[in-house]
Amino acid sequence: MACASGFGSTRRFNDVFKRHYRMTPSELRKQKGARRSVDEGIVFRLGYRPPYRFDDLLAFFRMRQIEGVERIDNASYERVVRLADEGIEHVGWLRVENDEKKNALIVTMSESLLPMTSQVLERVRSMFDTDSDPSAIHEAIASLNEVVPGAAKEGTRVPGCFDPFETAVRAILGQQVTVTFANTLAARIARSFGTPIELGRDGLSYAFPTHHDILAIPSIEDGFGKLGVIKTRSRVIAEIARALDEGDIDFSHGAIVAEQREKLLALKGIGPWTADYISLRVFNDPDVFLEGDAGIKHALPDTTPKERLTLAEQWRPWRSYANLCLWNSLSPSKEED
């Protein structure tokens, strides 16, 4: 496991692990919340407040999955994970399932990711919105049912993300194109500029490129152009990579969302929809409403963007959840538009 994690020796691995988590890997395995699974992964449980609409989250992620990087079926979410710490890169796999009877997510990860346990679990919590209070949120947005009957469903979660840069790139690729075509472009980028990974897991074969990988491309317009990405999209992806590299944009959870949104809007090629979508998914902003989104337009027909924004005022400070309820009320064909 130490060598697979990028360490030269088991002793070095144990020293770093103990310094970070104040316990040895063997002590962690003995903890009540973690156990070894039959496929040699390490299993954790993350509790949540019921009800929890796990199937809706899976449907959202499945509709947007990046082939080779993610694999989502009707019961689980699985992906390639690549995280770095102190210059050491840790690569492995992650699977998330739901234990409805125990109100908990079952999180299984490869042993190679054990040194990054806290980061992995924190990202899963964010991605699957496990810390929200469904009762309080539903009470605040229940009036949505007066506008779109049956749309407000208690237990709706806002889908976050595991890899902020990956999600930002996916958002840019999704500007004014169908969800399916954006998925195709993202998969092409992963195959062409990501890192091939041998994990022995069906459907998981590439780590999505980091912003460092993107900056290393001699000409992003030429490189991405061969994949079908138009020049304006390629340029803005390069700009985000540069801004992250230079610290002009901060995708960490400690960032102030309003400040980061303004910095995103200052980049040529990023408009309000993209900045708000990134705020919703990367920053977990609970109060985003995408009044100009095509799906929201279909869910609230015969209204202008201004009228939709005014209507959403009654759902503050949980407009992101109202947004998801409206998306979930659509048929797949309407959400694709």
pLDDT digits (tens, 9 = 90+) for 288-297: 999 999 999 9
Question: Which string of b and e fits 118-127 if b means at least 16 CB within 10 Å?
Answer: ebbbebbbbb
pLDDT in tens, 139-157: 999 999 999 999 999 999 9
pLDDT in tens, 91-135: 999 999 999 999 999 999 999 999 999 999 999 999 999 999 999
pLDDT at residue 36 greater than cutoff 80: no
Longest dimension (CA), the chain: 65
Instruction: Reply yes or no on domain 10-131 having CATH 3.40.605.10.
Output: no
* Structural fold of domain 164-336: Endonuclease III; domain 1 (1.10.340)
Is residue 32 very low, low, confident or very high in pLDDT (cuts 50, 70, 90)?
very low
Phi, psi dihedrals of residue 196, rounded to the nearest 5°:
-60, 135
CA–CA dist 129, 47 (Å, integer)? 11
Phi, psi dihedrals of residue 235, rounded to the nearest 5°:
-65, -40
Distances (CA, A) of 28 to 109, 118, 123: 14, 12, 19
Residues 292, 294, 297, CA angle at the centre, nearest 5°?
A: 75
Tokens of 78: 């699985």
Closest CA to 328 of 57, 144, 125: 57
Tokens of 335: 């959400």
pLDDT at residue 68 greater than cutoff 60: yes
Do residues 275 and 264 touch, judged by C-beta distance below 8 A? yes
Residue 171, burial from CB neighbour count under 10 angstroms (0-12, 13-18, 19+)? buried
pLDDT at residue 16 greater than cutoff 80: no
Do residues 186 and 170 touch, judged by C-beta distance below 8 A? yes
Is residue 37 very low, low, confident or very high in pLDDT (cuts 50, 70, 90)?
very low
**For 48, how many CA atoms within 13 A lie in the half-sphere containing its CB?**
31
Closest CA to 286 of 147, 152, 140, 166: 140
Handedness of CA 163, 169, 175, 180 (dihedral sign): negative
pLDDT at residue 28 greater than cutoff 70: no
Is residue 34 very low, low, confident or very high in pLDDT (cuts 50, 70, 90)?
low
CA–CA dist 149, 130 (Å, integer)? 26
pLDDT of residue 6: 44
The pTM score is 0.88
Domain ranges of the chain: 10-131, 164-336
Average pLDDT, the chain: 91
